[in-house]
Copies of this chain bind each other. A is one copy, B any other.
Amino acid sequence: MRIKLTVSYDGTDYCGWQVQPNGISVQSVLEEAIEKITGEKVKVTGSGRTDAGVHALGQVADFYTEKDNIPPENFAAALNTVLPDNVSVIKSERAADDFNSRKCAKKKTYRYLLYLSAVKLPLYERYAVQIDKNVNINKMREVSKVFIGTHDFKCFNASGGGAKTTVRTVYNIEIAEKDCMLSVSVTGSGFLYNMVRIMVGTLLKAGQGKLSAEDAEKMLISGKRSDGGNTLPAKGLCLMSVEYE
């Protein structure tokens, strides 16, 4: 049977989701845990590859097991007994035989956390990126509207991304502020390599008064990465949820 897992991890100490020649990946840690529980060497498929240092609250993954005698919902607790503290299976359930976490994904939501402070705050440093207090959030919201919809996001495609098409649909961008924490949540059909980190870097540039909505529109048309903001650090990014039909 095919098992669907909802997985959360602190990505700080990982080389990313995908198995890599050097460094420990979340995927390999899950595959080892499954082998410890079932005795089977399986391949775990994730909804997408999160980069080194990127976190997840609701990554989705799947694998096939011959152990039909284990109730699907019990895999979560069983795997958590052997997983390290920085990876946890929040939920396990039976999926259709042809379910594929990556191919069947319809929507993903990523959240980027920024904190507004003149000095570094150690308690925020692990999951958020410090920015100067002088940022205009309404400007960020205004420019974010330019990115909603189906567009060619070539301008947000980092070199190294091997996507066939750079057209994606962004359904929603929500910018919320609480105390000194600023969160930018982006929901889309899928994302190009580093797309969220560059997009939020571009919104930040807008918030700093260095980029207008017109500039953002021109970026989409020109497809030129150079017009955008910086690629923000991995640690501020978290894969919140993946939706299926």
Interface residues in chain A, defined as those with a beta carbon under 8 Å from any beta carbon in chain B: 8-10, 55, 57, 76-77, 80, 85-90, 119-123, 125-127, 238
Contacts and interface: CB of A to CB of B under 8 A. Distances in A.
Contacts of A85: 120, 122, 125
Contacts of A89: 119
Nearest to A77: B119
A47 to B, nearest CB: 17
Contacts of A123: 8, 10, 55, 57, 127, 238
A221 to B, nearest CB: 38
Contacts of A87: 122
User: How many identical subunits does the complex contain?
Assistant: 2
A8 B122 contact: yes
Contact of A90 (B57, B86, B121, B125): B121
A128 to B, nearest CB: 12
Contact of A80 (B8, B80, B86, B119): B119
Contacts of A9: 122
Interface centre among A86, A90, A121, A122 (most CB of B within 10 A): A122
A240 B68 CA distance: 51
Contact of A88 (B10, B55, B122): B122
29 contacts: A8-B121, A8-B122, A8-B123, A10-B122, A10-B123, A10-B125, A10-B126, A55-B122, A55-B123, A57-B121, A57-B123, A76-B119, A77-B119, A80-B119, A80-B120, A85-B122, A86-B122, A86-B125, A87-B122, A88-B119, A88-B120, A88-B121, A88-B122, A89-B119, A90-B119, A90-B121, A123-B127, A123-B238, A126-B126
A87 B127 CA distance: 16
A60 to B, nearest CB: 15
A87 B238 CA distance: 24
A177 to B, nearest CB: 15
A9 B88 CA distance: 26
Nearest to A85: B125
